[in-house]
Amino acid sequence: MFGGGNKIKLEKDLLDRVKKVAEVAGYASHEEFIVHIIERELSNFEDGASDEDITEKLRGLGYIS
């Protein structure tokens, strides 16, 4: 799943939490869980019809001002 040479660094505490939740939730691996979360969040933003819609969503979430 992450075999393409791409790597994401996570703090150890966060990775431990991800692994625990992934196991409890029944995912095959913590990588599968991370991919699922990222895909779900991206779909929330990709529903926007334009860059302006995405910008407004990010602004509403407090990611940008």
Does the structure show a pLDDT above 80 at 48? no
Any domain includes 54: yes
Q: What is the pLDDT of residue 2?
A: 53
Contact 19, 30 (CB under 8 A): yes
In angstroms, the CA 35 to CA 49 distance is 23
Instruction: Read off the pLDDT band of 4 (50, 70, 90).
Output: low
- Is 3 inside any structural domain? no
Query: In this predicted structure, what is the pLDDT of residue 14?
Result: 97
5 inside domain: no
Confirm whether 59 is domain-assigned: yes
pLDDT above 70 (res 60): yes
Decide if 20 is inside a domain: no
User: What range defines the domain where residue 33 resides?
Assistant: 26-65
Higher pLDDT, 14 or 4: 14
Question: How many domains in the chain?
Answer: 1
Query: Which of 17, 48, 22 has the alpha carbon at shortest distance from 36?
Result: 22
pLDDT tens for 11-46 read: 999 999 999 999 999 999 999 999 999 998 888 777
Cα separation, 21 vs 33, in Å, equals 9
